[in-house]
Amino acid sequence: MGGPIASLHPLSRADGSASYKCPATGSNVLGSVNAPIELPGRRDALKPEDATIEVFVKPGTAPGGVGERHIEGILRGALGRIILGREKGYPRRGVVITLAVVGCDNIARGSSYLPILPALLHTSILALLSASVPLSMTFSATVLAVDSSGEIVCEPSSTDAAAAASLHVLAFTSQGHLLLNESEGRFDFDTWERVYERALAICHGTSALGSDGDVAMSENVDAQPLEGFVRDTVEDHIHREYAWKIDAA
């Protein structure tokens, strides 16, 4: 199981864009950000002191529906906490984030969006970074499934997710605080605690875990923490963009 693959700024017209592919869950998302942008005809809805964040999720092979509107709400909530909408030039303007699910196993109408939520979150943060939208911090997210025997499955495939007793999406800020938690299914507090520890280890590496010596963690020691992945993607991109300058120096 390889790590995710991402590229920054694959699109020509949008201010910022990112494509993100997660081999484990099979999701492939393309995201674009236009910011700051005038949102005409909505003067009353615009906040005078803050940017208006709009998220649009476009499913790959079906018309958008209630599931998409719900996930858009979740994304808007999480991203609204890290976008600095009061910076110069942003109040009364819009930050329009468009996410297209380009390839993944079909999400049937009414079924859960949680398995691809981390992909959507990562795509949007990378697209925001590529559009140079001011952010207070970055984040990383992961999805975990707990099967009926209480075993935790990281980044479940669509069949694993369908068979799971509960699904959890957790996002952590770059400081290691919990930013977002969406869980569904039946689980108890102990299970959630275990899921939390595991997710923190995936996003921030085992060092963030402290003295807790959970056996399950050893699986992920060799895998790169996801927080580093976001950083590396941006670093690589900047390195390539500024190659002319680095070469000249």
Partner 1 sequence: MNKEAALSVAERDFILDALREDVRLDGRSADQLRPLTLSFGEEYGHVKVQLGKTSLIVRISAEVAKPHDDRPFDGIFSIAMELTAMGSPAWENGRQGDFETYVTNVLDRVIRHSNALDTESLCVLKGVSCWTIRADVHITGYDGNLIDASCIGVMAGLQHFRRPDAVVKEGQVIVYGIDEKVPVPLNITHKPLSVTFHTFDEGKLVILDATRKEEQASEADVVIGLNNAGDVCYLSKFSGSPVDAMVFVTKTTVALEKVKELNGIIDKALQADLAKRAKGGLAEQARAENDRLIG
Q: Provide CB contacts within 8 A for 76, sequence distance 6+.
A: 53, 54, 55
Return the ∠ at Cα 245 (arms to 133 and 134), rounded to 5°: 10
Q: Does 11 bind partner 1 (CB under 8 A)?
A: yes
Q: Of 65, 77, 89, 103, which one interacts with partner 1 (CB under 8 A)?
A: 103
Q: Of 106, 111, 148, 224, which one interacts with partner 1 (CB under 8 A)?
A: 106
Peptide bond into 91 cis (omega under 30): no
Q: Of 18, 71, 96, 116, which one interacts with partner 1 (CB under 8 A)?
A: 96
**CB-nearer residue toward partner 1: 13 or 245:** 13
Contact between 117 and 204 (Cβ < 8 Å): no
Provide the token pair at 167.
């699904």
DSSP 206: G
Q: Which residue stretch of 6-14, 137-145, 149-157, 238-246 sits at the interface with partner 1 (rule: CB under 8 A)?
A: 6-14
Q: Does 12 bind partner 1 (CB under 8 A)?
A: yes
Q: Could you tell me which residues are beta bridge partners of residue 143?
A: 169
Residue with tokens 């957790």: 170
Amino acid at 121: L
Could you tell me the smallest distance in angstroms from the CB atom of residue 68 to partner 1?
10
x-or-dash string of contact with partner 1, 44-63, rule CB under 8 A: ----------x-x-x-xxxx
Q: Which residue stretch of 31-39, 77-85, 131-139, 182-190 sits at the interface with partner 1 (rule: CB under 8 A)?
A: 31-39
CA distance 111 to 158: 11
Q: Of 4, 8, 15, 71, which one interacts with partner 1 (CB under 8 A)?
A: 15
Which of 24, 26, 25, 29 minimizes the C-alpha distance to 6? Answer: 29
Could you tell me the smallest distance in angstroms from the CB atom of residue 30 to partner 1?
7
Asked whether the CA dihedral 86, 119, 170, 109 is positive or negative, the reply is: positive
Q: Does 17 bind partner 1 (CB under 8 A)?
A: yes
> Which stretches of the chain bind partner 1, using CB under 8 A?
10-15, 17, 30, 32, 34, 37, 40-41, 54, 56, 58, 60-63, 96, 98, 100, 102-103, 106
